[in-house]
Structure 1
Amino acid sequence: MSSASDLESMFDLAPVSLWLEDYSGLKRLFDQWRAQGVEDLVAHLGAEPGRVQECMSRLQVMRVNQSTLTLFGAATQEELLSRLDSVFRGDMADSVIHEFDLLWRGQLSFDNQTVNYALDGRRLDVHVHVRVLPGHEAAWDRVLVSLHDVTERVQAERQRAESERYARGLFDHSPVSLWVEDFSAVKTLLDDIRARGISDFATFIKVHPEFVTRCMQEIRVIDVNHETLRMFAAADKNTLLRHISRIFRDEMRESFGDQLQDLWNGKTLQQREVLNYSLSGEPVNIHMQFAVLEDHLDTWDLVLVSLVDITARKKAEAYLEYLGKHDVLTQLHNRTFYTEELNRLSRKGPWPVSVLAIDLNGLKNINDEEGHAAGDALLRRVGEVLSKAVDAPSWPARIGGDEFAILLPMTDERGAEAMRERVMSLLDLNNQFYAGQNGHVLSLAIGQATCSAGDQLDLALMRADKAMYEDKARHYDGHGAPGYA
């Protein structure tokens, strides 16, 4: 077999698509345009879309091999060449302009990636290598074009890119704050102290609180989503990261110490409630979920943290707790709280404990004659007087309709008397203030008693009640009004 026959066989049997083409017509067209003063081919082609088709028409396919026919689904070369308009179409325009520009600028050998179509309509992503054969550089009359089918690879890359876009969209637009973090340096620190023989980690961080701070500083934030920026009032990611110490501070150090303790014990999936702060300074109650991703358990270099803002829930819980221990009308503690504190003081003190039993004089008559709105106004005024008169650790409470009490831990008889005088002084001021508003005169009956260590607090309460009723009797005797109300 001659060498020419060998070459023909190699061309026909090559496992890649081969095209032998004649670009001499394109060369003559380029020379003509240069003579007309064209310098920028891309701009020239863009100015008149028909010029691209004119360039395409100057290319002549001389021969293709069997792999080409198989790739494009053609039975014969004649069938393929008669339907080239079905092969070279659609979204290959940009790539073919790029190829023409390379030739225009004298590059006679180059690679490119483009799109062709099989005769049955299948899209083919192909890697193209174009080479003007040696000895034909002047005329471009022999050009070898090879096509490698990369459709599967491109589709896989496209699917992967689509999956990444989808995952990125889920991350960016998640309704909860998401943080991707690198804890590998934290793991290194923990491994180091474990290697030094430390076994009681809880005691270690109590003795060395700076270790917790060091670990916090070693966390690297890789990414955050949009909800994170909104939750923490940050204009952008860089602003957030520059001021991260304003977000994780104060109470966060203690909770992070607990988080480290869990990590030390091998707990790489955690959840807890923590307190953070927005960049505007507002506290943000957070339910945090922390997870070292499964494929990164050896390094902790990829951690996902989700934060749910539970501030509204916490405020609601605090308000419900407040309602459970406070009287809504007077804003004082209620009978439930009063009873719980009596039980606690009865068991533990601190002693002595004094109590003031207080009753609002005349409430029944006001309710009967002017309605409960007028009576409620008087009760609110009692709340104003007692809340101003009493400081912690003492506190006042409304324990019945017109009944009030002040519990005074660590207070003897002289302290109780001083509290009584303070209440009466503020009562006078309150009456002076409301006198100008046509308000009723506020009058309180007060009894007091003191209980020392070893005595029964219940008996002191009874003595205080008895003294209060005696004070109430003196009030009505002085005003000539019958009954206690």
Structure 2
Amino acid sequence: MESMTDFESMFDLAPVSLWLEDYSGLKRLFDRWRAEGVEDLAAHLEADPARVRECMAQWRVLRVNQSTLSLFSADSQEHLLSQLDKVFRGDMAAPVVHELTQLWQGHLGFDNQTVNYALDGRRLDVQVRVRVLPGHETTWDRVLVSLDDITERVRAERERIESERYARGLFEHSPVSLWVEDFSAVKLLLDDIRERGIDDFATFIKVHPEFVTRCIQEIRVIDVNRETLRMFVATDKDMLLHNLSRVFRDEMTESFADQLQDLWNGKTLQQREVVNYSLAGDTINIHMQFAVLEDRLATWDLVLVSLVDITARKKAEAYLEYLGKHDVLTQLNNRTFYSEELNRLSRKGPWPVSMLAIDLNGLKHVNDESGHAAGDVLLRRAGEVLSMAVDAPAWPARIGGDEFAVLMPKTDERGAEAMRDRILSLLELNNQFYSGQSGHVLSFAIGTATCEAREHLDSALQRADKAMYADKARHYLARGDHVA
């Protein structure tokens, strides 16, 4: 009698929800269905959902403990049992089918997770443990059910999953290319050479460029997002990750060496402009931001890299720079570029420096007689001739309305005369090609001069101009016209 009292006390005061139930009616129902030929209980229940409710109606609650009343906000056992339809409802149908199937298959003890509801309306996520008590295996008339309230745990897990889903969505749909990488092997390599007494890392990688290559090979790409695939013209992640050598090549080795130098100096937040390549072979100018995550500073095993495609900006900048130093009509260098190069050559050479002063004969006459459109045609033709005639390191420029110049570093008088002859030869071919199209002959007045290291370039420029005007005078004298 004392042991029974102790049992009742333990049952009633247990810190978990306990239910003593009678499943004998369910066993009789199962036996009848088996006799009727039912083999697959899950299919049988799915065929008619009312059968699930019929099974649940066979459960008879004999007793619950105090923890159960507290959990379900019930005043008494009678209060709870009179409102079980409020407790077992909603989204518990699938778990119930699982429990019924376990019993059908002969499992007299099993665990499950389900949803119940307290009488005050609270949703309860519970871990269910069902055990047919010993000695009642043939009748199922005594079944002990325990419920652990795991609502907070499930909520936390749900929030974690939602947070991960949200973060994943931000990652995947970011408008910039994102890479998650593992630099832990790179850190080990840097730590190793530091332990070997290397202090001057810049000198070390100059002497051992293969170290940079090895570090590149040790980077492990963990993940990339959709914008990355689009930017690098990859159909999927495997395609991109198996072709990284086509993406990071050429100039990338030098920029990665700078990145390693920053990491060596403890700079784990970096940004720089680099050049990558798409799998289609196109050059992509990139603004890269690199960050070792704060909680991984000891290992570098989680690094976030963002890449912004600045190719269009770079092209615009290059075009603006081109416009700033080129003449739009002739496509030659302009006076700004010419003046900058004169200053540079006057300081550094290389000597001797030769120059050609060139003037387009008859441009004013063509503008007056045929209009400025015809004059522009002549100017474009002048640009064609000079572009074809002059090769680097020499270069031509339009320095005024009908004035041109050619600067020739490290070129003596013979080189200057050879350039003059070449221009005149191409000028003749140009006139032959355009004969009959415009009716205007392209003609240059050319003067040459050469400057040695001890002489000022301005003096040579004056000599070239003087020689050009003399050539121009001869041209108009031969035509019987005035100089124009």
TM-score between the two structures when normalised by the length of structure 1: 0.98
Q: Map of 1:166-181 to 2, 5 A cutoff?
A: 166-181=166-181
Give the AA of the match of 1:61: V
Q: Map of 1:8-407 to 2, 5 A cutoff?
A: 8-407=8-407
Q: Secondary structure at the match of 2:164?
A: helix
Unaligned runs of 5+ in 2: none
Q: Distance in 2 between matches of 1:58 and 1:376?
A: 101
Using the TM superposition, name which of 270-279 and 103-112 deviates more: 270-279
Q: Secondary structure at the match of 1:119?
A: coil
Q: Distance in 2 between matches of 1:4 and 1:115?
A: 32
Give the AA of the match of 1:10: M
Q: Distance in 1 between matches of 2:99 and 2:282?
A: 59
Deviation, 1:104, is 0.7
Q: Secondary structure at the match of 2:281?
A: coil
Give the AA of the match of 2:185: A
Q: Distance in 2 between matches of 1:37 and 1:353?
A: 108
Deviation, 1:199, is 0.9
Deviation, 1:2, is 2.1
Deviation, 1:161, is 1.1
- Sequence identity percentage: 80
Q: Distance in 2 between matches of 1:386 and 1:138?
A: 108
Q: Distance in 1 between matches of 2:434 and 2:120?
A: 95
Q: Distance in 2 between matches of 1:197 and 1:343?
A: 47
Using the TM superposition, name which of 2-11 and 353-362 deviates more: 2-11
Q: Distance in 1 between matches of 2:439 and 2:331?
A: 20
Q: Secondary structure at the match of 2:92?
A: helix
Q: Distance in 2 between matches of 1:34 and 1:18?
A: 31
Deviation, 1:453, is 2.0
Q: Distance in 1 between matches of 2:63 and 2:440?
A: 113
Q: Distance in 2 between matches of 1:277 and 1:46?
A: 56
Deviation, 1:329, is 0.8
Give the AA of the match of 1:228: T
Q: Distance in 2 between matches of 1:23 and 1:336?
A: 98
Q: Distance in 1 between matches of 2:189 and 2:287?
A: 26
Q: Which residue in 2 is equivalent to 1:426?
A: 426
Deviation, 1:168, is 1.1
Q: Which residue in 1 is equivalent to 2:410?
A: 410
Give the AA of the match of 2:33: W
Give the AA of the match of 2:165: R
Q: Tell me: CA distance 1:77–1:439, structure 2 relative to 1, closer, same or farther (3 Å).
A: farther
Q: Distance in 1 between matches of 2:92 and 2:368?
A: 93
Post-superposition Cα deviations, 1:97-122, rounded to whole Å, max 9, x if no partner, equal 11111111110100001111111111
Q: Distance in 1 between matches of 2:191 and 2:439?
A: 73
Q: Secondary structure at the match of 1:127?
A: strand
Give the AA of the match of 1:85: D
Q: Distance in 2 between matches of 1:197 and 1:483?
A: 77
Q: Secondary structure at the match of 1:267?
A: coil
Give the AA of the match of 1:476: Y
Deviation, 1:439, is 4.4
Post-superposition Cα deviations, 1:286-317, rounded to whole Å, max 9, x if no partner, equal 11111111111111111111111111111111
Give the AA of the match of 2:135: G
Deviation, 1:220, is 1.0
Deviation, 1:370, is 2.3
Post-superposition Cα deviations, 1:140-179, rounded to whole Å, max 9, x if no partner, equal 1111110000001111111111111111111111111111
Give the AA of the match of 1:189: L
Post-superposition Cα deviations, 1:236-266, rounded to whole Å, max 9, x if no partner, equal 1111111111111111111111111111111
Give the AA of the match of 1:443: S
CA contact (8 A) 2:472 2:483 kept: no
Deviation, 1:446, is 1.0
Q: Map of 1:461-476 to 2, 5 A cutoff?
A: 461-476=461-476
Using the TM superposition, name which of 207-216 and 433-442 deviates more: 433-442
Q: Distance in 2 between matches of 1:173 and 1:125?
A: 33
Deviation, 1:53, is 1.1
Q: Which residue in 1 is equivalent to 2:443?
A: 443
Q: Distance in 2 between matches of 1:275 and 1:435?
A: 47
Q: What is the number of residues matched between the two proteins? A: 484
Q: Secondary structure at the match of 2:199?
A: coil
Deviation, 1:482, is 2.4
Q: Distance in 1 between matches of 2:378 and 2:438?
A: 12
Deviation, 1:436, is 3.9
Give the AA of the match of 1:57: A
